[in-house]
Amino acid sequence: MKTAQLSGNKGGVAQAVTVLQNGGTVAFATETVYGLGADARNSAAVAAIFSAKDRPSFNPLIVHLACIEMLESIAELPKAAQKLLPLWPGPLTLVLPRKQDSGLSDLVTAGLDTVAVRIPAHPLARELLRRFGGPVAAPSANPSGKVSATSAAHVLAGLDGRIAAILDGGDCAVGLESTIVGFEHGTAVLLRPGGVSVEDIEALLGENLALPTAKEITAPGQLSSHYAPDVAVRMNAENPLTGEAWLGFGQHPRTAPGLNLSSTGNLTEAATNLFDALRKMDAICKREGLKGFAVAPIPQTGLGLAINDRLKRASAKRGRHPLTKV
Ligand code: TXA
Ligand code: MG
Would you say residue 220 lies in a domain? no
Is the backbone peptide bond immediately before 89 cis, with ω within 30 degrees of 0?
yes
Domain that residue 238 falls in:
232-315
- Please give the tally of structural domains in the chain: 2
Would you say residue 282 lies in a domain? yes
Q: What is the DSSP letter of 217?
A: G
The per-residue pLDDT for range 208-219, each reduced to its tens digit, is 999 877 655 445
Looking at the structure, do residues 175 and 270 belong to the same domain, yes or no?
Answer: no
Is residue 78 within 8 A of residue 48, CB to CB? The reply is: no
Side chain identity at 143, as an amino acid letter?
P
Looking at the structure, do residues 182 and 243 belong to the same domain, yes or no?
Answer: no
| Calpha distance 85→92 (Å, rounded) | 9
Q: What spacing in Å lies between the alpha carbon of 33 and ligand 2's midpoint?
A: 9
| Calpha distance 15→207 (Å, rounded) | 45
Q: Which of 25, 28, 93 to mutate to test the pocket of ligand 1 (most atoms within 8 A of CB)?
A: 93
Q: What is the pLDDT of residue 216?
A: 53
| Calpha distance 228→233 (Å, rounded) | 9
The per-residue pLDDT for range 173-183, each reduced to its tens digit, is 999 999 999 99
* Domain stops at, among 190, 205, 220: 205
Average pLDDT over every residue of 21-45 = 97
Looking at the structure, do residues 158 and 197 belong to the same domain, yes or no?
Answer: yes
Side chain identity at 323, as an amino acid letter?
L
Looking at the structure, do residues 195 and 238 belong to the same domain, yes or no?
Answer: no
Average pLDDT over every residue of 123-139 = 98
Looking at the structure, do residues 303 and 161 belong to the same domain, yes or no?
Answer: no
| Calpha distance 54→307 (Å, rounded) | 25
| pTM of the predicted structure, to 2 decimals | 0.90
Would you say residue 91 lies in a domain? yes
Looking at the structure, do residues 197 and 262 belong to the same domain, yes or no?
Answer: no
| Calpha distance 115→86 (Å, rounded) | 20
Report whether residue 140 contacts ligand 1, using a CB cutoff of 6 Å. yes
Would you say residue 163 lies in a domain? yes
Q: What spacing in Å lies between the alpha carbon of 94 and ligand 1's midpoint?
A: 10
| Calpha distance 53→142 (Å, rounded) | 6
Looking at the structure, do residues 264 and 195 belong to the same domain, yes or no?
Answer: no
